[in-house]
Amino acid sequence: MSTPARQLHLGAFFFGVGHHLAAWRHPDVDAASATSIESLRAWARIAEAAKFDAIFFADNVGLSGSPAGLLTKNALPYPFDPLLLQSALAGVTERIGLVATVSTTYLPPYHLARKFATLDHLSGGRSGWNLVTSGSDFEAQAFGLPHQLDHAHRYEKAHEYVKVVKGLWDTWEDDAFVQDKETNQFFDPARLHRITHAGKHFQVRGGLQAPRAPQGYPVFVQAGSSDDGQDLAAATAELVFIAQQTVEDARAFYQSLKGRLANWGRTPDQLKILPGISPFVGRSHAEAQEKFEQLQSLIDPVLGVGLLSAFLGNVDLSKYPIDGPFPRDLPVTEGWQSRQDLFNKLAERENLSIRQLYERVAGARGHWTLVGTPETIADQLEHWFTTGAADGFNVLSPTLPHGLKDFAELVIPELQRRGLFRTEYTGHTLREHLGLPRPAHPLAAATRAAPSLATA
């Protein structure tokens, strides 16, 4: 029997009314649509009709501490709780995966475990958890802390957090609920496994009320590219979103991360790596370029500098001339270290000024921006996919829904024509879309060997 040809995985990343820094100012964009459930449902239906693997929502948990004069120029990107929002979208979709971002730093493990178990049941096995550790002081201050935890501490805590939530998701074996009315037995006590965890960061004893989820666990998603982030991803992640500007950098990251999996007893096919892309698609290159330049012309320089400052850990750039060289002496902060490294390398490699750097990254916050026809964009995606730089891509539409429609109606048919992307869903769960196994209950085999009346 022949092995099916490898195909791309695609995520649809919803972010406000589009990923471009000036998306809300575009004349065709309804700036209020990111807070309209009807609009969000419509966008989800577009993504599902195009057979995307999943919808993805990022998040942070606090209002930016930027001055009001800066905030007023920018659309708020995270108006809703992503888990509640994905639960709402579960009811108007049938097959597409639903990935929500939740921080391990500010939500107790029990809350997260119960919420994702609920989403997985509500959606029939389509949930994914994008694990973040949070990287800003304003988030910490929203939870009563003076500043964020240091980078290494956050990731150490995240490793333990994953152990706890897995234990909670394994409270019940898959067939624990016998519901035998004749014997008056609702569940088999031998198939109940309460967690007793005493660790450095968490002390947890108890169990979930919900049956084991359809997928066992939600798909584990991560986006950190620092050394700490890669170690956490190698240990826990099944889907990794990355920001890389060149195929060489993406290929090096791909090899580095997949090379760490063996240390955790894992194989390369157990983790999928999806670089982010922001595509400007036109039926001609001139049309695509016009779409790109129109949005670029709407960037407010104050916001552009503010974007760089935020990703660099709120470093003050005001003392540097905006058209002078990007400074090389900026401190490394406890914030998003992988993005700091990406911006520094990009500015150095291309000798960019502050203005040129924010113009380069404003479209997708550091992800790869493509401008072209369906054919030329498909050529580039195919090259990355077939040369060991990606297992697929996370699509960051510059505007919503327009950029999403362009990709769905123009690029995806070209990828399908080349046999690089599905024409129909073949599974029902997000794990099935991604070719990932459903995790077996770790104690089920031991239970089968034990006496049937063993107590929990």
pLDDT tens per residue across span 305-317:
877 877 776 777 8
pLDDT in tens, 368-400: 999 999 999 999 999 999 999 999 999 999 999
- Asked if the structure places residue 321 within a domain, the reply is yes
pLDDT higher at 426 or 5: 426
Residues 212 and 336 both lie in one domain: no
The whole-number pLDDT of residue 338 equals 64
pLDDT band at 456 (very low <50, low <70, confident <90, very high): very low
CATH label of the domain that carries residue 105 = 3.20.20.30
Q: In the predicted model, what is the mean pLDDT of residues 178-206?
A: 97
Q: In the predicted model, what is the mean pLDDT of residues 100-111?
A: 96
pLDDT band at 452 (very low <50, low <70, confident <90, very high): very low
User: Of 317, 345, 361, which residue sits at a domain end?
Assistant: 361
Query: Tokens 């000036």 map to which residue?
Result: 22
Query: For residue 223, which of 204, 236, 212 has the smallest C-alpha distance?
Result: 236
Query: For residue 11, which of 344, 288, 238, 217 has the smallest C-alpha distance?
Result: 238
- Point out which residues pair with 388 in neighbouring strands: none
Q: In the predicted model, what is the mean pLDDT of residues 330-350?
A: 70
Residues 376 and 248 both lie in one domain: yes
The whole-number pLDDT of residue 448 equals 60
Answer yes or no: is pLDDT of 449 > 60.
no
Nearest 5°: the CA angle 51, 53, 55 is 100
Q: Hey, how many other C-beta atoms are within 10 angstroms of the C-beta on 299?
A: 19
| Pairing relationship of beta strands 54-57 and 97-103 according to DSSP bridges | parallel
Residues 154 and 36 both lie in one domain: yes
Residues 66 and 153 both lie in one domain: yes
> Which tokens is 434 given?
């991604």
Residues 87 and 186 both lie in one domain: yes
Residues 342 and 243 both lie in one domain: no
Residues 268 and 204 both lie in one domain: yes
The whole-number pLDDT of residue 339 equals 65
Answer yes or no: is pLDDT of 6 > 70.
yes
Answer yes or no: is pLDDT of 451 > 60.
no
- Asked if the structure places residue 1 within a domain, the reply is no
- Asked if the structure places residue 429 within a domain, the reply is yes
Question: For residue 354, what are the domain limits?
Answer: 300-361
User: Of 338, 361, 384, which residue sits at a domain end?
Assistant: 361
Query: For residue 52, which of 92, 82, 83, 13 has the smallest C-alpha distance?
Result: 13
> How far is C-alpha 197 from the geometric centre of its chain's CA atoms?
28
Nearest 5°: the CA angle 115, 116, 119 is 90
**DSSP classification of residue 407:** I
pLDDT higher at 275 or 136: 275
Q: Report the run of H or E that residue 132 belongs to, with start and end.
A: strand 127-132
User: Of 332, 361, 390, which residue sits at a domain end?
Assistant: 361
Query: For residue 216, which of 182, 256, 169 has the smallest C-alpha distance?
Result: 169
Task: List all residues 6 or more positions away from 319 whose beta carbon is below 8 Å from its beta carbon.
Answer: none
End-to-end CA, the chain: 45
Give the C-alpha separation, 16 to 40, whole Å: 10
Q: Helices (DSSP H) in 50-150: which residue ranges?
A: 68-71, 82-90, 109-123, 137-142
Residues 29 and 120 both lie in one domain: yes
> How far is C-alpha 63 from the geometric centre of its chain's CA atoms?
20
Give the C-alpha separation, 216 to 452, whole Å: 23
Residues 196 and 128 both lie in one domain: yes
Query: For residue 92, which of 128, 126, 58, 130 has the smallest C-alpha distance?
Result: 126
Query: For residue 80, which of 68, 72, 70, 88 has the smallest C-alpha distance?
Result: 88
pLDDT in tens, 211-233: 999 999 999 999 877 788 899 99
- Asked if the structure places residue 58 within a domain, the reply is yes
The answer to whether the pTM exceeds 0.85 is yes
Give the C-alpha separation, 216 to 259, whole Å: 26
Nearest 5°: the CA angle 310, 311, 317 is 60
- Asked if the structure places residue 42 within a domain, the reply is yes
Q: Which amino acid is at 93?
A: T
Mean pLDDT for all residues in the chain = 91
Residues 354 and 250 both lie in one domain: no
Answer yes or no: is pLDDT of 65 > 70.
yes
pLDDT in tens, 137-164: 889 899 999 988 888 899 999 999 999 9
Q: Helices (DSSP H) in 270-418: which residue ranges?
A: 285-296, 301-311, 337-350, 354-361, 374-386, 402-406, 412-417
Written as one string, the DSSP assignment of 223-265 is: ---SHHHHHHHHHH-SEEEE--SSHHHHHHHHHHHHHHGGGGT
Residues 216 and 326 both lie in one domain: no
- Asked if the structure places residue 294 within a domain, the reply is no
- Asked if the structure places residue 4 within a domain, the reply is no
Answer yes or no: is pLDDT of 335 > 60.
no
- Asked if the structure places residue 454 within a domain, the reply is no
192, 171 contact by CB (below 8 A)? yes
Residues 179 and 265 both lie in one domain: yes
Counting the structural domains of the chain, the total is 2
Answer yes or no: is pLDDT of 455 > 50.
no
Q: Report the run of H or E that residue 164 belongs to, with start and end.
A: helix 151-169
Q: Hey, how many other C-beta atoms are within 10 angstroms of the C-beta on 175?
A: 13
